[in-house]
Structure 1
Amino acid sequence: MSFTIYGAAGSGSVPVEAALTLLGLDHEVIEAPTWEGEAQRDRVAPVNPMRQIPALVTPGGETITESAAILIWLADNHPGARLAPAVDDPRRGQFLRWMSFIPASIYSMYWVRDEPSRLVGDDDAAQAAVLDRTAGRIAACWAVMDAQVNPGDFILGDQLTVLDLYVAVASRWTPRRRRFYVEAPNLAPVVRRVDALPELADFWPRRFPFEADEEG
């Protein structure tokens, strides 16, 4: 039996799909770009009443939502792959800290950015202000994280974890990589290293290909 992941190219499902790929776990992706409208959100509704992606259905039929929760669950249930520090590992606290920080402080901004009218109605000027301020908030949060980590090859040292996958994907969203490199110079070489992982050489072009303006 295999996993089923409700997701979309370039979305928050991509780090989960990358983890499944690194773990060598069979999985099917049900494409559901929920930001495109009600029909796509309705597609996810049977497994996630919030109608959001990603949602993972395990071979046993359990549904897990929220990118960070899925990534931690996958890593903890496959300890041999060493994609997360063990519970008794001294790095575990910082791992959980940043795995929580990203969705709470950064990822949450995209619910607003996808449809600013949710908060400010149809006022074009207000929507533009929301987009500008959320981009600034995201950049500021990356700077906060960057100032408090001391990476090796990867964020927690020399071992790749799902945290690296999460940051590598989220850093490619607005305000995009060029701004990320300025705000987070310590994390910049880490995400480039994740981009270049040979184990994901075929994965990235399929699920989050670099575009001509990707660094902009």
Structure 2
Amino acid sequence: MSFTLYGAAGSGSVPVEAAMTLIGLDYRVIEAVTWEGEAERDKVAVANPMRQVPTLVLPNGEVLTESAAILIWLADAYPEARLGPGIDDPRRARFLRWITFIPASIYSMFWVRDEPSRLVGDDPAAQDEVKRRTLGRIAECWRVMDSQITPGRFLLGDELSVLDLYVAVASRWTPRRARFTAEAPRMAEVVRRVDALPALQGFWAERFPFGADEAV
């Protein structure tokens, strides 16, 4: 039996798709570009009343939402893939800290940035200020994470984890890779390795291809 993932190219579903690809799971993606309007969000409503991606339907019909939760579940459910430290691993605390930091401190900013009118109404000046401040907040969070983490070849040491996949994707959102590299130079070295993983070259090209103007 296969998994069903509601997602969209370039979105928070991409690290989940990357993890499932590396694990070798049978899954299908129902494309739902939720930031493009109600019709797209309605596609997800059948599985998730929040109408957000990623939403993962397990083979038994159970629904998982929230990107960090899905990534943690995949790492724990398929330990043979070695995509996350187990409960007794000394890296477990760091893994949980940072994989939840991303949605709590960074990913959450995009709910505001994408439609600032949700908070400040139709005032263009207020909307511009929200965008400016959220951009600064995202950059600050990357800087803080970079100052607190000591990468090896990957973020938790020498083994790839779902945390690396998550950061590799999220670092490409606003303020994009050039600013990310300036704020988080140690993590920037790691995400370049993740970009270059041979096992994911076809996947990245299909689900989150780099544009000609993007710093990598």
Q: TM-score, normalised by structure 2?
A: 0.99
For 1:177, the equivalent position in structure 2 comes to: 177
Deviates more, 1:205-214 or 1:15-24: 205-214
Q: Please state how far the C-alpha of 1:212 moved relative to its aligned partner.
A: 1.7
Work out the CA distance in 2 between the residues paired with 1:204 and 1:132.
29
Counterpart secondary structure, 1:213: coil
In the alignment, which residue of structure 2 is the partner of 1:140?
A: 140
Q: CA separation in 2, counterparts of 1:214 and 1:119?
A: 30
Letter in 2 for 1:163: L
Instruction: Flag structure 2 segments of 5+ consecutive residues without an equivalent.
Output: none
Question: What's the counterpart of residue 188 of structure 2?
Answer: 188
What whole-Å deviation, never above 9, does each CA across 1:26-76 have from its counterpart, x for those lacking one? 110000010000001111111111111100001111100000000000110
In the alignment, does 2:60 pair up with 1:60? yes
Moved over 4 A (4+): none
The separation in 1 between residues aligned to 2:99 and 2:207, in whole angstroms, is: 22
Deviation of 1:213 after TM superposition, in Å, equals 2.1
Q: CA deviation at 1:190?
A: 0.3
Question: Residues 65-80 of structure 1 correspond to what in structure 2 (within 5 A)?
Answer: 65-80=65-80
- Report matched runs for 1:103-114 at 5 Å: 103-114=103-114
Q: Which amino acid aligns with 2:147?
A: A
Instruction: Give % identity.
Output: 74
TM-score, scaled relative to structure 1 = 0.99
Give the counterpart letter for 1:37 in structure 2. Answer: G
Classify the secondary structure of the residue corresponding to 1:6.
strand
Tell me the alpha carbon deviations over residues 117-169 of structure 1, each in whole angstroms, 9 at most, x when there is no partner. Answer: 11111111111111111010000000000001110110000000000000000
User: Once superposed, what is the RMSD of the aligned Cα atoms?
Assistant: 0.8
CA distance in 2, matches of 1:2, 1:176: 34
Letter in structure 2 aligned against 1:68 = A
The answer for the alignment partner of 1:150 in structure 2 is 150
The secondary structure found in structure 2 opposite 1:186 is helix
Shift of 1:215: 2.1
Show structure 1 runs of 5+ residues with no match: none
Aligned-residue offset at 1:102: 0.4
1:205 aligns with 2:193: no
TM-superposed CA distance for 1:209, in Å, is 0.4
1:120-139 counterparts in 2 under 5 A? 120-139=120-139
**3-state DSSP class of the match of 1:49?**
coil
